[in-house]
Every structure is written in structure tokens, then in C-alpha cells.
Amino acid sequence: METKSSGSVKRSFAVFQKDIKSELRTRYAINAILLFAVVTVFAVSFAMAKSGGMVAPVLQSSLLWIVIYFSSLSGLAQSFIKEEESKTAIALRLYAPAESVFGGKLLFNLVLLIVMNIITIPLFAIFLNLEIANYPLFFSVVFLGSLAMVGTTTLVAAIISKASVKGALFAVLSFPLLLPVLMMAISGTKKALSPDITFAMARMELQVLGSYLVIMIVLGFFLFDAVWND
Amino acid sequence: MDLKLKLDGLAKSYPGRPVFSKINAEVPAGRKLVITGPNGSGKSTLVKVICGFIRPTKGAVTLHVNGLSLSRIDIRPHIGLVSPDLVLYDELTAFENLSFFAGVAGLQFALSKLEDKLNAIGLEGRGDDLVGSYSSGMKQRLKYCLALLREPSLLLLDEPTANLDDRGKELVDNIIKGHNGIVVIATNESAELEYGDEIVRLG
């Protein structure tokens, strides 16, 4: 017999699979994200090349998260905006429970951001001479930071999807909510780039990022029903 | 089956513009309600209010099912909707659309069963085609297939024969006459007024 929670997971996965299939056929979000990410990395690397190519870890980590932040802003809202603009949101509201829609979109946005990171970070490392001193710490910060970013932006995307000035509203609403994530992610990344820094020395950043992502995702599941259905 | 749709003093207005007011109706199982009125009189808005997509300014919509009184979002699992405002995924095939919506609604159908449903609606052999390649009439037929997928007790049809040819209209006629739940039709086609056991005139 199917329990309610196993049913919800299955339905969330169905939404996720549908979004992946749609994205592979339309490339609605991935093109926007990748184009923005690649252009920004190149623009930053050209600017840095003029200054001799030597960039301090604090500046490198800040630039990396600025690239991730703005690239994600250009694409993560699309999952909801597309549903509203193509009018498929009505059928989705009629057939899918709200928590399954949120779960599916969250998973889809996470995959999108991971794909973006897989392409952006090596490019960034090559063109900005990124030297990672502590790989486990670096990838933990990137993963937790991305997850916290996705947890926040997925809910904001649902809120702004019915508005007329979506792009501006998305940036305005997301920035204050993402500020703690960006601060901790930049600080954690800087530590991962600095030699002689152990995993334990970045515990505070990891704990804040972990707690923030849990809060945002739980809050998202609680609030999404009202956002989606009203 | 104990089934009744109750529209109780429904009113909807936007700032400075009343759309409709004092809409009352009680429709038991096997009966049909027709909503009619000129363009812009609020027929589609009333359908959206019944679906729970829009909150009414006043009044309430209640669906009584086997002793339970359901309102707004709880009504949705009992609804089959065909409307110009409901759009399926163009980038997915008809089979993919149907199995996706069935899946998120907690239903499972074998491909052969979905094929039978498409055949019944006149879309034989087109299940693997992208919906984006369908004509507007074929899309309308697919909406009927989706609406009937979970055997809804409340069938809501907004402009039920839009874009359909004569055979399609005949198909819709059979669906409306053969449905043993409640059918709500929003239309301004005079021929479709004859379906109504009860008629609500707007505007």
C-alpha cells in the first residue's frame, strides 16, 4: 500500500522528471544560466588579467559566488515562470498536490545549479588561477551554499511567477534572503583556498549554511501551499 | 452516490469593476448547470472560482460528496476541467502528458490503457506525437482525455466545443450526456444551452 509520504516523494519525482524532460527539449533555463555563467567568468578573467592575474583568495571567492549568484538568478526562476507563462500551471494545480510541485521544482533547480557549477567552477579555476587548498571543504561549501540558494530561490520564484515584473522582483526579493548564504559561502570558500586551514576551522560557515538550508527548505514546504494556491 | 454542488451567494469583483454577484445554484448528481452570458460577463471567472483558482469576493462553493462537504482546494481531486485556460505541455507527447498528470494525481495507467483512452477521443495513433505539433482541435480532444482520466464527479467545461469539428462536437455531446456526475458548462453557444437542467445567466 502507498503511504502518504511515499506517494508525495513519488509525485515530486514525477514533477522533477517532467521538468528534466521539458528542459532537455526546450533548454529554457539551462541556456540562460550557462550563457550568463560563461560570459561572466570570461569578463572577470579579462579584467583580472589586466591586473597581472594575481588575485587574492578573498577576491576569488567573492567573484566565484557573484558568478554563481547572478547566473542562478537568471535561470532558477524559470521553472515557475514557464509554468505560468505557458498556462500549464492550471493543470498542474488541478492534478498535483502543492508539496509535490515544490519538491519536484526544488530537485530540478538543484540539478540545474549543480550542472552550472560543474561547468563554471573548472572554467573559473582555469581562467582565474583558482588554487584550492582543501578540496573536501571547498566542495562542501559549494554544495551546501548551492542547496541553500536553491531552497531560497525556489520559493521566491513561486511568489514572483504571477507578477508582471518578474525579473526585477526576483532579484529584489532574493538578495536579502540570500545575503547570509553568500556571506558564509564566500567566507567558507576563502578558507578552502587558504593553505593550512582544516575542515574544523570552517565549522561555523558549514553549520550556518546547513542550518539555513534546512530552515529555508522546511519553510518552503510550509509556505508553498499558500503561495501556490492563492 | 451522494453528490451535490452548491454555489452559495457567489460574487466576484475587481477594484472598481464588479464581475458577477448573487450567484446561487444547487446541482445534484446527474444534472447539468449551464453558465451563459455575453463576452466578458464572467463565465470563465465563475468556472475558476468553482475550481478554487480564484477566491470569490463573497459566498462559497461547496461540493458535497458522500456526506463530506468540500471547498476550494479539496474539490480539485473531484474535478475534470476543459478550458481555454488549461494548457498541456507542448514539449511532451500526449502519452507523456497523460501519464505525468495521472502520476502526480496518484493514478497509474498502463500504456495500452492510455492508448484506449486516446482512441476513444479520436486521437488514435497520435499518442507519441508532441502536443506542440497538434492542431487546436486535437489539443481540445486531448484536454477531454485528461479531464476524464480520473473519472471526475464534477466535469467543468468552459467553451466545450471550441475548435472542434462536427465529429468532435458529437464526441462532446456523448460525454456530456453520458456523464453521471455533475456537469457545469460555460458557453455562449445557444445550442449548448439545451444541456442545462439549470441555467445561470451572467451580465
Kindly compute the dihedral angle of the four CA atoms of residues B76, A9, B143, B155, in this order, to the nearest 10 degrees.
-20
Residue B52: per-residue pLDDT: 92
Chain A residues bordering chain B (beta-carbon distance below 8 Å): 2, 7, 10-11, 14-15, 17-18, 21-22, 25-26, 86-88, 90-97, 100, 229-230
Report the helix count and the strand count for chain B, using DSSP H and E. Answer: 5, 9
Judged against a pLDDT cut of 60, whether residue A3 lies above it is answered with no
Cell matching residue A126: 582555469
Cβ atoms of A17 and A100 closer than 8 Å: no
The CA-based diameter of chain A, rounded to the nearest angstrom, is 65
Mean pLDDT within B43-49? 95
Residue B87 to residue A87, Cβ atoms within 8 A: yes
Pairing of strands B3-14, B17-28: antiparallel
Q: Which amino acid is at A21?
A: K
- Which among A9, A95, A229 is the top mutation candidate for probing chain B, defined by the most B β-carbons within 10 Å of its own β-carbon? A95
Mutate: best of B81, B104, B146, partner A, most A CBs <10 A: B104
Q: Which residue has the higher pLDDT, A214 or A5?
A: A214
Residue carrying C-alpha cell 582555469: A126
Quick one: cell of A121?
Answer: 567552477
In the numeric block, which cell numbers belong to residue A197? 586551514
Query: Whole-angstrom Cα distance, residue B63 to residue B27?
Result: 10
CA distance B94 to B122: 13
Please spell the DSSP secondary structure of A56-92, one letter per residue: -HHHHHHHHHHHHHHHHHHHTTHHHHHHHHTTTHHHH
Residue A4 has pLDDT above 60, yes or no: no
- Whole-number mean pLDDT of chain B? 94
Answer with the residue of higher pLDDT: A187 or A29: A187
Share of chain B above pLDDT 90, in %: 93
Grid coordinates in use for A221? Answer: 514546504
pLDDT (average), residues A212-220: 94
Residue B145 has pLDDT above 90, yes or no: yes
The residue with greater pLDDT, A1 or A32, is A32
Given a cut of 70, is residue A150 above it in pLDDT?
A: yes
The strand pairing partners of A26, in sequence order, are: none
> Which residues are within 8 A (CB) of A110 and not within 5 positions of it... i.e. 6 or more apart?
A146, A147, A150
User: Picking from A64-78, A84-98, B130-144, B187-201, which range would have the lowest pLDDT averaged per residue?
Assistant: A64-78
Q: Work out the average pLDDT over A29-58.
A: 82
| C-alpha grid cell, residue A105 | 521544482
Instruction: Give the pLDDT score at B113.
Output: 93
Q: Write down the pLDDT at residue A229.
A: 85
- Alpha-carbon span B89 to B96, nearest angstrom: 9
pTM score, whole prediction: 0.91
Question: Does the distance separating the beta carbons of B86 and A91 come in below 8 Å?
Answer: yes
Tell me how close the Cα of A209 comes to any Cα of chain B, in angstroms. 32
Distance CA A133, CA A155 (A): 34
- Of A54-58, B17-21, B191-195, the least confident: A54-58
Are A178 and A152 in contact, with CB atoms under 8 Å apart?
yes
Segment A148-163 mean pLDDT: 88
| Mean pLDDT on A38-59 | 81
Specify the pLDDT at position A158: 87
Calculate the alpha carbon distances from A191 to A162, B43, B133 in Å. 40, 61, 53
Residue A27's CB: how many other CB atoms inside 10 A? 11
A22 contacts B89? CB cut-off 8 A:
yes
Distances (CA, A) of A73 to A68, A101, A116, A143, A222: 9, 20, 12, 17, 23
Reading the block at residue B33, the C-alpha cell is 448547470
**Intra-chain end-to-end CA distance of chain A, in Å:** 32
Q: Does residue A102 contact residue A223 with C-beta atoms inside 8 Å? A: no
* pLDDT, tens digit (0-9, with 9 covering 90-100), for A80-97: 888 988 999 999 999 999
In chain A, which residues have their Cβ closer than 8 Å to the Cβ of B55?
230
The answer to whether residue A164 scores a pLDDT higher than 80 is no
- Alpha-carbon distance B152 to nearest alpha carbon in chain A (angstroms): 12
pLDDT over threshold 70, residue B191: yes
pLDDT range class, residue A53, cuts 50, 70, 90: low
Query: Closest to B104 (Cβ–Cβ): which among A14, A87, A230?
Result: A14
DSSP three-state, residue B186: strand
Mean pLDDT of B147-176: 95
Interface confidence: ipTM more than 0.85: yes
Query: Helix or strand or coil: residue B132?
Result: helix
B105 contacts A95? CB cut-off 8 A: yes
Q: Which of B90, B100, B108, B155 to mutate to test the interface with A (most CBs of A within 10 A)?
A: B100
Residue B48 · residue A87 · CB < 8 Å: no
Considering only the C-alpha atoms of chain B, give the largest distance between any 2 of them, rounded to a whole number of Å. 52
Q: What is the pLDDT of residues B94-142, one digit of tens each?
A: 999 999 999 999 998 999 999 999 999 999 999 999 999 999 999 999 9
Contact criterion met (CB below 8 Å) for A143 and A113: no
The share of chain A scoring above pLDDT 90, in percent, equals 52
Assign B31 to helix, strand or coil. coil
Q: Which three cell numbers stand for residue B134?
A: 497538434
Q: Has residue A21 got a pLDDT over 90?
A: yes
Closest residue in B to A26 (Cα–Cα): B91
Task: Say which residues have a Cβ less than 8 Å from residue B3's Cβ, sequence separation at least 6.
Answer: B28, B29, B63, B64, B65, B66, B153, B181, B182
Average pLDDT value for residue range A206-230 = 92
Q: Bridge partners of B156?
A: B81, B184
Over the stretch B70-100, which tens digit does the pLDDT of each residue have? Answer: 988 899 999 999 999 999 999 999 999 999 9
Residues in a beta bridge with B81: B156
Backbone angles phi, psi at B130, to 5 degrees: -65, 140
Neighbours of A2 (CB within 10 A): 10
d(CA B63, CA A68): 48
Mean pLDDT of chain A: 88
What integer pLDDT is reported at residue A2 of this predicted model? 42
